[in-house]
Amino acid sequence: MSADYARIFQSLPVPFMVLDRNLRFVEANAAYCAATTSRRADLIGRHVFEAFPEEGDNLRRYQEAFERALAGEENVVAFFPYAVPGPNGQRVLKYWSCTHTPLRNDAGDVTHIIQQAEDVTGLAAEAPDATAGMQAKVTKRAQRLESLSQTLRAEGDFLKRLFQSAPGFMAVFSGPDQTVELANDAFRRLVGKDDVVGRSLAEITGHFSATGASARPGTGSAFIAEAFPLLVRDPDGGAQRRIYLDFVWQPIIDDDGTQVAVFVQGNDVTEKVQASHHQQLLLDEINHRVKNTLAVVQALVLQTLRSTPSPAEFSTKLQARLAALSGTHNLLTETAWNGVELRALLHQELAHFGERRIALSGPAALLSPRRTVNLGLVFHELATNAAKYGALSVPDGRVTVSWQVLPDEEGRPERLEIVWEESGGPPVVKPGEAGFGTRLIERTMRAKPDARFSIDYRPQGLLARFDMPAEHGDAT
């Protein structure tokens, strides 16, 4: 059964009328016509200010009220004096309180204004000495209240928008189950749920768990947490991630001292905490590298001193070794410590002897930072020895360095073989005892399981072979 809304509208005991967006009458019910002593047929299609002329302040109040209604805001014009024609033709002053409600279509646009006009003349007349002056006072007060109510509503709306869209999360809980009464968008994002109001805190944060022995909010007193760690289990994946929250847990206490609610406000500071952790890691890493480099430099100094008693020779050798170490660090810096190509490392140590005397051949082979540093020093020692006693000590001598990367059964790099071959130099004589270079090479190769090194003092030229596991980006 469908109701006859037109009949219902007409029969409502309270005065109602409907305006279109041009403020022309679309409808008016019988109570409205009676209250304004007008006929429905005379009203329909007429502009409201044509049917009921206004001027000055009154005109302004109504215009404003209609505009706000058209903008979608319900409003009230309270205690408004307007004289209507009386039964005998004379004007009768009446007081009205008019509520304006916007009427929307399916798309949500305001198409009409519904005015509910209430005759409140009785309120003014009930006062025993209802003089005109008194009525004017009442009218003024009503207008002030109307204006105050508008201000409060505007402030309320503003606060509500602030609350909803604040970057930090906010919520209000009450009752023994800590039921959510209010929650803003950031709080909904934090817990990953839209429908939180009316549900318990335990229910909406079931996927959160505290870590370690962190202090928890108790009852009755405020709790302030900084970088409070929580584990959050993702609803779909089941994976846990760690988040950090700064928050204030503020009980709301009424006049009797009873806790009536809890207000929680805070921020997700996970990114800030992670950035700080990352910075600490970087600092530790820098410390590690600096200390490591200092230890290597100390060892270079002591080892060089041990093998070279002459101060002049010591100075020359040490500076050359430090320069080699520094050059290797330059290569590493260029690649952001991701590793250096073997060819680039060899080029750095050998290029200054000239292309005619140096031949490098082999595929791409990326060395870890650690191996770069150690092999850099090893190649420096080999090159220095070659320049002093070996193939590079004469104009026609040559050094050929060739390498290959041997794959395992699945095609991944498994072994790195490097051959250092000298030719065209003076006849080679095996040194009496292992020098710094040889000792360094042996020690370097021993650091990896299955690494092999051989050095052959062939009369026609030194031949050194390195055979080591291939590696990529080892820890430095």
Partner 1 sequence: MSGSPLSDLQVLILEDEPLVSMMTEDMVVDLGGTVVGPFSRLDALVRHIEAGGGCDLALLDVNVNGERSTTVADLLRARDIPIIFCTGYDDAGIGEAWRSAPRLRKPFSDAELEQAMRSALGR
**Nearer to partner 1 among residue 113 and residue 325 (C-beta):** 325
Q: Which of 34, 202, 294, 351 binds partner 1 (CB under 8 A)?
A: 294
Task: Report yes or no: 112 and 70 within 8 Å, Cβ to Cβ.
Answer: no
* Candidates 43-51, 175-183, 244-252, 446-454; binding stretch for partner 1 (CB under 8 A): 446-454
Which one of 277, 446, 452, 472 is in contact with partner 1 (CB under 8 A)?
A: 446
Q: Are 15 and 30 in contact (CB under 8 A)?
A: no
Considering the complex, state which of residue 377 and residue 399 has its C-beta at the smaller distance from partner 1: 377
Binding test (CB under 8 A) with partner 1, winner from 178, 184, 328, 374 = 374
Q: How far is the CB of 301 from partner 1 (least distance, A)?
A: 9
| 212 lines the binding site for partner 1 (CB under 8 A) | no
Name which of 234 and 285 has its Cβ closer to partner 1: 285
Place of tokens 């109570």: 31
**Which range, of 23-31, 44-52, 266-274, 443-451, touches partner 1 by CB under 8 A?**
443-451
Kindly identify the residues of this chain, within the stretch 270-289, that bind partner 1 according to CB under 8 A.
284, 287-288
Q: How far apart are CA 453 and CA 468, in angstroms?
A: 8
Q: How far is the CB of 476 from partner 1 (least distance, A)?
A: 9
One of 292, 326, 402, 460 touching partner 1 (CB under 8 A)? 292
Closest distance to partner 1 from the beta carbon of 378 (Å): 9
- Nearer CB in complex with partner 1: 141/288: 288
Of 132-161, binders to partner 1 (CB under 8 A) are none
* Interface pattern 96-135 for partner 1 (x via CB under 8 A): ----------------------------------------
Would you tell me the crossing angle of helices 270-307 and 436-446 to the nearest 10 degrees?
140
In the window 296-325, what residues touch partner 1 (CB under 8 A)?
296-300, 302-303, 306
Interface pick for partner 1 out of 24, 415, 439, 465 (rule CB under 8 A): 439
Task: List the Cα angle 257/260/266 in 5-degree steps.
Answer: 110
How many residues line the site for partner 1 (CB under 8 A)?
28
* Whether 163 contacts 184, CB under 8 Å: yes
CA distance 56 to 180: 49
- 441-446 long-range contacts (CB < 8 A, ≥24 apart) are 441/378, 441/381, 441/382, 444/374, 444/375, 444/377, 444/378
Q: Which of 78, 204, 367, 377 binds partner 1 (CB under 8 A)?
A: 377
Q: State in angstroms the smallest separation of the CB of 373 from partner 1.
A: 9
According to CB under 8 A, which one of 141, 291, 412, 452 is a site residue for partner 1? 291
Judged by CB under 8 A, which of 189, 448, 452, 472 binds partner 1? 448
CB 162 → partner 1: shortest distance, Å?
45
Residues 405-424 that bind partner 1 (CB under 8 A): none
Sheet of strand 223-233, all strands in order from the earlier edge strand to the far edge: 179-183, 169-174, 259-268, 240-253, 223-233, 208-210
Q: Which contacts of 201-208 are long-range, i.e. CB under 8 A and separated by 24 or more positions?
A: 201/173, 201/177, 202/177, 202/178, 204/180, 207/232, 207/233, 207/234, 207/235, 208/232
CB of 210 to partner 1, least distance (A): 24
193 near partner 1 (CB under 8 A): no
d(CA 19, CA 47): 9
Instruction: Please identify, using beta-carbon distances, which residue of 292 and 402 lies nearer to partner 1.
Output: 292
Q: Which is nearer to partner 1, 347 or 439 (CB)?
A: 439
**Residue 447 within binding range of partner 1, rule CB under 8 A:** yes
| Shortest reach from residue 332's CB to partner 1, in Å | 16
Cβ proximity to partner 1: between 184 and 368 the closer is 368
Nearer to partner 1, 248 or 296 (CB): 296
Which class for 254: exposed (0-12), middle (13-18), buried (19 or more C-beta within 10 A)?
exposed
Q: For residue 120, what are the β-bridge partners?
A: none
As to burial, measured by CB atoms within 10 angstroms (0-12 exposed, 13-18 middle, 19+ buried), residue 293 is: middle
The residue among 162 and 299 lying less far from partner 1, judged by its C-beta, is 299
Q: Which is nearer to partner 1, 23 or 297 (CB)?
A: 297
Binding region for partner 1 (CB under 8 A) = 284, 287-288, 290-292, 294-300, 302-303, 306, 374, 377, 439-440, 443-444, 446-449, 474-475
